[in-house]
Structures are given as structure tokens and as C-alpha cells.
Structure 1
Amino acid sequence: MSEHFEALKNILAKKNPHLTLSIFDSPIRYDDLIRDASNRLKFYNDYFIINLRSTDSPVILDAICLYIPSLTIKIESPEELIEPILIESITSDVKNYLYAKILQQQTWLFQRISENTWHLASGLSHERITQHVVDGALKTIPFSDAVIFRIYDEGQNKLCPVAVSGFKDNYYEYSVSPQESISGKVFESRKPIILNSRDDILASFESYSAIRASVMENNPIANALICVPVLDQQYCYGTLTILSLGRRSVFNSLAVSLLETFASQVALAWRNAKQYDEKVESFNQVNSLRQQLEQQNEMLRSSLNFHNEMIKLSIKNNDISSFIKAMSDKMNLEIGYVDISGAIHGKLRDIDKLWVTLTTNKSNEEIEEAGFIRNELYIQPMMQNQQAVGFVIVNKADASDYIRVTLSRLSDFLIMDIMKKVNNLLIENKRKSSVMDKVLLEGINEDTTTTLSENGFLIQEWIGCIVLSLANTTNRSEDVKLLDMHNKLKYLLARSNAFIYSDEINFMIYLSDNSPERINSSFIKLEKEVVNIGFYQAGVSNVTSAIRIKQSLDQALTTLAVIKKRNKQGVLRFNQTGIERLFVNHEKEEIKQFINDVLSPILDDSEKSQVLLKTLNEYIGNSCSVNNTARSLDIHTNTLYQRIKKIELLTKMDLSSSDDFLIISVACHMLSLSRGVT
């Protein structure tokens, strides 16, 4: 400080040796003086103020500076008055001295920017750059003690704080939209804003923000601030704000220029970091693709070796169980296997129930080719034409990526064995159908009994037949479904003496036993499950003596025809078909003609005819009881008698005649059925 005083004192004394000069440190502050008395100042600019407090001897001259120490100069003369021209000369010398000092200060400040720019350029990560931004801004701008660095997030359309100093951490929650608050306006306009009073800062908040109110509640309000865009040519990355919190300071145009210069270097560093990140990301992607390619090549080599090994093992092990066991030993893990043909291998938990569980609880449409986790097991489906034909299973803990790929290859290999079983079933169905055709043609005799026995079916005292119809006829690509249904039927009838085969439309099942109760028990079991298995309708015959096997089939086919005419899903027994069995083979038009011949006089849509038809149905349904019929219709018996006479007159039928009553009853029943169907 003394050097500063002495330098100025020497300059003034050299030009004015006859004057007595004293220079003191001034307690007056630039920001106080510029706010309170700018209209009465002798001279002021952004850097210093010259204030002439006294023109009489001694003359008191204040040189109040923003960035360098402020001075008070006391000038005394032997004479009573000091000429105004001399005062002007001294004032001019003071100005020149201050300008020189300010230039030195500016040079020093720009050197600081250069140093801070080097730090920015030395960091390639955004994390390091944000720290250098905070440090550099505080070092570059005098009297600044807080910094906010915001970057624009296109996804949120927000300016988000990425580096903050001088505030609590919750300030990071304070993001603003473009045009909102000071930062938003600077970002949108690409022009700096300088505010040198707390009132001006508070006035800049034009609308209420709950987030800002929450943040500001625990953070100070600045006395002055400068906000500049972080601008790289025409692209703006965000904003940089410096604030003065601790003292009532002001910022000037130099501070704005300094901060703009620094912000442009921040933008350049941010762009470089972004490009660096993109290059690193690109490199990582290329490296990742290279590693994936290497892994795929390795898996391809392993897959090829594994395929060759499967071929060798399949040649040595002809049946599926021994093949799966050999694969388990080769891979050194427990492999479970179930398929549509009923084959089961392995000791994994509940594996014997797995096929039914998976295909019942999860429809084939929901099962995809990718493996999935179920109850601590990893299950790899075997799919053929979008139909699950089997599952390969391992413990979840063993299902590494390599094992999963290996199981996928194994399942593809095993599907070939499944399709062989499908073809064998088709051949078996044709053979069994041919055998049964012979039995039905020749009847039960020693020869046909032997033939059936050779095909696994023992003719005993009683026999029953059930014919099951698919919802839709199958095509060649769905033959695998027939195998599934066939094996589910075999599973249900595992303890029964059954003969099962199918054609493209129906499944035929014959059951023979020395106990009719056991046959009925098997029928009941089938009735509960046929729809779940995938059948739409089924007709069940009566249990009859074995020699009447053809009658058993005819009854089942007739029953199936009746339930189809009723257009209902489910199972129907022959003894439930009623009178419909007599008409099942008649054409629909023929039945309509019969109904019309009998009931046409009371079949029109008039209200009178509807009343008569309802009366007739109630009369028949109440077994010709006049009192019960009148009660159900809520009419007087005399009214009922009148209606019956009217019906007899129109239909030319005598309801007291057993023949006429039978005809009209059948016609009413068939009318009710036809209306229920149509």
C-alpha cells in the first residue's frame, strides 16, 4: 500500500513542488458512492470515481476505485487559494495514474483467464471440466464468491445445474426453462445480463416457482450477478453465472468481458469433452461388437463341435433316455427331458408332472422358443410349427449363457426324434383303423379277438365306446397335436384296457372290462378332461356286451351327432339323447317340413298364435293336467278348455287320441330344439 501511495505522491510532487501532498487509504467504497451520489460526482466510470470534496486549501480529492485500493489526497498550498486550473491538472494526473494501474490489473486478470483456460483444456471429462469452471470463474472475476454453471438438457427442455459453488446441494434441483429466470433469458437471447443490486435480482423473477422458492429458502440472495451464455459460435451449451454474496459489490463491463471470454473457453472445452465422449462411446461400441463377434464365433465353433458330439452319441444310444443320460454325463450336469410322446427322463423335481403343468397352465400360443425360468428350473421349449413338442430342463443355477445356447441346440436335435414319433403314430392310427374296420365287419370271433389282442386290446365281457371330435380338422402341420392328445388320453386311461386311434376328424376309444362299473368310471374320468385336452365334443355309448361292439360305435356316433345338432361343447351320453336320436340322421329341411305339417296353423307371428302355441307346450309339459296347466298359465280352466278346442280345430288333431297326441308332442319338441339351434 505504501508503494502505491509513494508512487502517486512522487508523480504529483514532481510537477507541483510548491504543494504539500498527503495520501491516505480511503474507507469509502466504490459501490456505495456510485449508488448514492452518482449525480454529484466530479468524474466516474466503470473503474474509479473522482470526487472533489473541498476546493479551498487544503483541497480534499477522493479517488475511489473498484479493483485497486481507494485513496484520499490532501493538497495544501502556502497560498490561501489553489487555482482551479491547478486542481484540474492534479485531477488529470490522478486519472492517468489510475488508468495505468487499471491496465496493469486488466493484464493480470487476462493472464488469469489464460491460466484457467489451460486447466479447462487439460480435462477431457465433463466431471473435471465442471470443477475447473467453478474454480476458474471464481479466480477470474474479482469480488465473486458464488458460481452456477448450467447445461441445457434437450430431453427435459431445461437448463440444469451441473456445477455450483457458494450454495447448498439442493440448488442442483433448481432447473429452469428457456426464457424463465435470468439464466433462461440469457440462454434464449445469447446476450449477457448484469445486475448490481438485490432489488434488481428479485425483480427479475417474473413468475412464481415452487422449486425456486424451496431452494431460495435455504440459500442466500446475491447482491450482484453476471450471467453469460456458454456459447460456441452459434451453439449455446448453457449459461455461466457469477454472484457476489458476501459484500455489497458491483460488477462492471470488464467483469462481463472477462466472464464472456472465459465462458467461450468453457464452451470449447465442453464441445471437446462431448466429442471425446462420442469417440470413446464409438470406440466402446466397436470394441463391444468385436467382443460379441468373437463370442459368437466361439459359440459357433462350440455349437459345431457339440452337434458332431450329439450325432456320435445318438448313434451309440438308440433310445431317447440313454441319449439324454449320455448328454448329461458329457456336459456334467443333470438334464431333464419330457416330450409330447410321454417320454420322461431325469431326476429333477416334479419332472413327471412337468408336461401336463406346462401345457395346461400355459397355452402353446404363449410358449415361445426362448428358454424361461419356472420354480428354480431353466426350461428350454422344443417348438415345431409353433407347437410345444417337448422341454429340456436343467437347474436354474446351472443355466449359464453357454448352457442355454447348448440346450437350444440340443432341443433342435431332439425335435427330429419327436417328428419320427409323430410319423409312427400316423402309421399306427391307420393300422388300428384297419383292424377295427375288420372287427366291425366280421364281429367278435376267435380271429378278430386274437387280432385285437395282438394290438394290445383284450376283449372281455363288456364294452363301451366314446368318439371325440376336434374343434377343427387338423392338417399335416398340426399332426404333432394329435400326438399330444393321444398321449394325454393314454395317460388318463393308463389303468384301463383301451383301444385308441384317430382319423383326421375324430378320436375313437373302445374300453372293455369284465366290470361295467369300471368302464363307466373311465368314462367319467374322460368326461372331466376331454375339453381340457383339446376336444370340442364327445359322444359316449351305453356299456353293452362285447359282441355288440358295432352297436357301441353306432351309439357313440349317434350321440356325437346329437350334441353337434345342439351346437354345444362338451360330452353327451347315449341315454341323454332322448327322442332326438331318432331324427339325427334326417335332413334339417325334412324335420322343418314335419313341424310345419303339424303346427303350421299356430306358427305365424300373430299374438293369438303365440298364445295358443305357449298353451299347447304347457299342456304337454304338465302331462295334460288341466288344473296344473291353468295354474302355470294363470288362467281359468274354462279359458284353457276353449284354447285346447281352438288348437284341435286349427291342427285337426284330437289331443285325447294317443296317436295324435304323440305326433303333436314330437312336433312341439322338435320345434323347441330347432329354435334352440337356430
Structure 2
Amino acid sequence: MEVFPQFIHRLRQTFGKRSFALWLLASHDRQFRLLHAEGERTGGPIPSAASHVEDERYRWEEQADVALLRLFFPEAGQAVVVASGSICAPSPDSLEILWLTFRLFLAEEMIRTKNDEWSKLLQGIRSISSKLDIDSIIREIIGNALAVIPAADAGLLHLYDPAIDRLVPKATVGFHDRVFQYFKLRIGESIAGKVYQDGHARIYRSHPETKKAMMDISEENYRFLNDAKELRDLNGLLCVPISIESERIGVLVLHQFHQDKVFTDYDLSVLQGFADQTSIALHNAKLYADARTKHDDLVKRNEIHESLKQLFLQNKGTESIIRALERMTAEPVIFADWLEQRYFPEDCHFPLTWEELSLLLGQKRNPVKVTLSSQGAGDQAFLLYPLGNGQVFLGCLLICVTDGELSEHQRVTIEQGSAVLTLDLVKKQSLSSIMYKRAHDLFLGVVESKGQELQERAQVLGLKQNSLSLVVFAYFSRCHDLSILEANIHRLVTKWKWEFSSSHILVYGFHNHVTLLAQPKSPSEIKEIMARLQAASEEWEHGGDASLSIGVGGIYTGIDRIGKSFEEAKKAAHYLLNRGRFGVARYGDLGVNRLILNQSQEEIDAFVRDVFGPLWEGQEKHQELEHTLLTYMECSQSPQQTARELHIHVNTLYQRLRKIEELLLLDLRQPEDILKVQLACHLRRES
């Protein structure tokens, strides 16, 4: 469905016969670009960007002779509609519909862009398998990279030549061919030399930034490169390493000379994907040169790729891909999906636990051979092929090795299958992120609505009017890599969808937290939910790459109290987070801690120091008095019980209490002083 014509139609309804122009400033744009103009207005001057507060969706502005409707999309940019003449501001409902319609248009554009990227990636894989001319393959890969990265308009591939210890151009797009003749970079020279040296990709978004990074290039190399393309017009640059396994063999560079776009970090990750394709192409060329007689194997490789690609393009699903791999290898093949904690085929027996799998492959990207022993079956060898997207572990393929090693045909089949499965997993994860945002908006709509609007939105989610409702808010911390955070959220959402299938109404991830809305049917089900939440927190803490602080709101009857449970769940989670703890906290169990939810740990520590400070001066002298005071409060100020706990006479206790009152300047018979000391003791135990 094309949303853009619908959006223009709604603008016509809003502005009547007045002229208007629609501008967009996307995340990769340097300035607004004109999407549509109607009437006498042909676009007019380029508007300026406007700052906006968090959660602001739209803004209506009226100026001397024009009216402006600004639409804000934090992750995708902002749009502005400029209309001529004086116009009455549309109703909030009309503005909301316009905002939602344009957001759908942006989502369509993003999906269309993703499909183009996947098409180019698959086209590159097909070229790798179907062509023998390495130069044409590399040129095609660079061309595909330029096609899907809008800010780039030229590309250059350097390969390391060990004979002269230099990086030399191998293929170019957008440069004069004379760059091949003399341009040779030392290791560590300029941007390409540094990327080859340390293996870290680099991004530059402006001419001064790029020029500064190239300051150490030799005069001779600068002259050769400038002759091929004038560097004064260089406005940005992406550079990524090309590696075969752990060995770097070159770098791939994209340049921006004339495009009015801005390079993004996502462009850098996409270019790394094309660089990986290039490394595969170069590696395949070497294999072909070393084994020309294996023509039949190469033909078979193409058939394998085509078969797997068709399964992927036709959305046949993971199960179909695994069955195809089993037929092609003539061996049992199992896929372990780490994010969703599922096995394919579903009826298989996987010989390793999820914990063992994480320990074996969590940080590896190369195949691992393991030998497992079982009673009655003896030793059995397996090869584990890990699947990953950057630092994110996605899962692995397991194949039984009957004769100790895989044949060339089996190895190629598994590698092709790994690539297709990785693309499929990344695609599903991207689509899940879009769905999570939609679920987040739906849930907030229920939380913030009242009356008839609440009834309608609750009906969309399938909420039962007078059922018990419970909200869980899980917050990830100690997870600084965004890609790993996104994978953790996806894995937790999938896990909870399965574990709470009988009671969950909605579960989604957003930013760094996961929200669960459940309607349990019995007290036993509530108890089971709490146990599973505790197990989830311990699992992530044990994994080591993140901590999970889970807050649980109250259990209330009626959809109008879901918002209350949600706020309580957030407060309970932030209570744990502010104290650097993981685990599960129920808001109803916080007790007196509810009074200090909004206090920072620094403020709490300062209060405790103010009370106990005099006892901490001269630690050896007053340590006994501090222990006495803590025990006295734990025994509910009972002198006899406190004396028994301390193994002292009650008169000795009274002497110590008088000394404590003198040091702390308080009277333990005054309710206000008692409350102050009780709170300080409680906070000391909590910290």
C-alpha cells in the first residue's frame, strides 16, 4: 500500500486550495529536501530545522504570510509542511492522523531501503558464486555499495602487496584509472593505511575532518590521488578493513565528493558487509586459481546458493532452509537460534545446553570441532558453525562429522547456509524492532487514555475489562554495545512470550527496557510469574554481558488501573537500578523504601553519614557503640533482648545508650529522634 498519496490527499483536505510544499530532513540529510509542492508555491526557500522536546510529535507555527506544520520523528528526522496564507490550526485529531500517516510513509521507505540493501547483498553473493573474473566481481561489489549508501559517489579498493610491502589500488569506481599506476600507500599512512594497520573502521563526515585525517599522506601519493579526483571536493569518507579469517588483506574506501548527504554509522556497518563479500570473492578467486580442475564443485556451489537464496526470498522459513541443508550435505544438520532459544528441526535432540553453547561460541566466529561421548553410542564428532552480526552471537549450525572432516561440498553448503540464515535473522530482528515501537505506542495509548477512548484501545490489545492486570518493567544495565543490547532485548521478549504464553497480553522491548503486560488467572500463576522473572534476572547476570533489574507493579482489577501498575513497576525497577542491584523487586514489597525512590544514592549516603558520623570518628573507639545501636534497633528497642543478643548486663547497655545519645546529640526517648535513627539503620542495611 502506497501511503504517500494518502498523506498528500490529507494535506489537501487540511489546507484547502492554498499552495503548500512538503520538506523532509532525514537522519542522513545535511538540509531539508523537497518531497512535494502544490499550487503556486514551487518549494520556496529551504526551511530551517527546529529543535523539539522529548515526546513532541508535531507543532503548528504561524508566521507573517505562511503557516508551518512540523512533524518530529526522533529516529528518522523531521518534516515540515509550508503553506501560504493565514490558516486556522487543524484539530489535534487531524494533526495526529497526519503524523501517523507520514510515519507510515517513513516506515515504508525504510522497508523499501532495507529490501534494496538485501537485494544488493544477495546480488553480490550471486556474483561471487557465478563469475570467475575477480575484477568485475569487485567492481560490481563497489557499485552495489555505492547504490545502497546514498552519501557516497566514488569507491576505491586497496590490497596489500607483500612483495613491496605497500597497499595498492585493485579496483575503483568514480576515479580516473591513472590512480592504478603509481599510488602506493605505506602501512599506517593516511586513512587507508591506518585502517589496514589496526583493523578499526573509520568514518569522516566533513571536509576538514577528512583532510585532518589524511595529513600524514606523502606528497607524492597525494599528488597521484588528487590527479585521479580533486581532493578539495572531498566532503566525507568511509573506510573498512578487508580480512580473510584473522588475516587482513586490504581496505575498502567510499568517498563523498558531490552528494548532499551525511555518512551514518549504519552506512559504515553496511560497507563492512560489502567488504566481507569482497574478502569472500578474493578468497574464492585464490581457491579457483589453485584448483581449476574443480569446475564441477563450483557449479554445484552455485546451485546450492541458488537453492538457498530462493528459499530465503520466498520466505520459506528457517525449518525449510535446515531441511535443504540436510539434503545437500547428506548429514543431520541442526540450527540453534540463540536469540529465540529454539532448535530447528523442532523435534531434534541438541547435544549441548544453551549455557555450554554460549561458553563455546559466544566470542567465536570460526567453526569449532567438538567430540561428545554418550553411553551406548560412543564418541561422536560435531562441527559447530557460529552465526554472528558484528559482536552479536545469533546462534550456530551443528553438523555431524561422520569421517572426521567435512568434504569440500559439505563445507561450501554449510557456509552458504550460514550466510543465508544470518541474513534471515538480521531481517527478522529489524522487523521486530519496528513492531516493538508499534506495541510501545499501543501500550502507552492504553496507559494514558480514559473513558471511551480507553475502552477502544484496550479492545485492540484484547484486554478483558475486569480481569486482574500486572505490569513488569525490566531494565538492562551494564550493556554498552547497542547491537548486543538490541539482541538481549529481542531474546528476552521472545523468551517471555513463550514462558508467559498463557497470561501475557503484550510484551515488547523499547530502548533499554522490556515491558510485560499480563493478566494472570490465579494466585499460583502469579507465583510462577515471579519465579520466572527471578530466573531471568539471574540468567543475564550469570551471562556477564548485561544486568537485568526487574520491577513488578501491583495486581489490580480493571483496565483503568493498568497505568498505576506500570508506574509502580518502573519505580521498583529504578529502585534496584539506583542502588546498582539486579534481581526482582515488587513495588508492594518496598515498604518504607517507597519514600526514598526519588532520592539519589549520594543523598542517602549523606543522610546515613550525618547520623552515624560521630560514631565513625576513631573507628576502634566507637565500633562497639555502633554495633550496640544497630542491635538495639533490630530488637525493637527492647533492653532485655538487646542485652541478651550482645551478651552484656542490661545496666551496661544503658550506659552505652547514654554514651550514644551524647555522641549523636539525640534523645532515644523522643519519637522524632527514634524515627531518625531507625531510618538511618534501615538505609545502612539496604546500601
- TM-score norm. by structure 1 comes to 0.50
Q: Which has the higher Rg, Structure 1 or Structure 2? A: 1
Question: Greater share of helix residues, 1 or 2?
Answer: 1
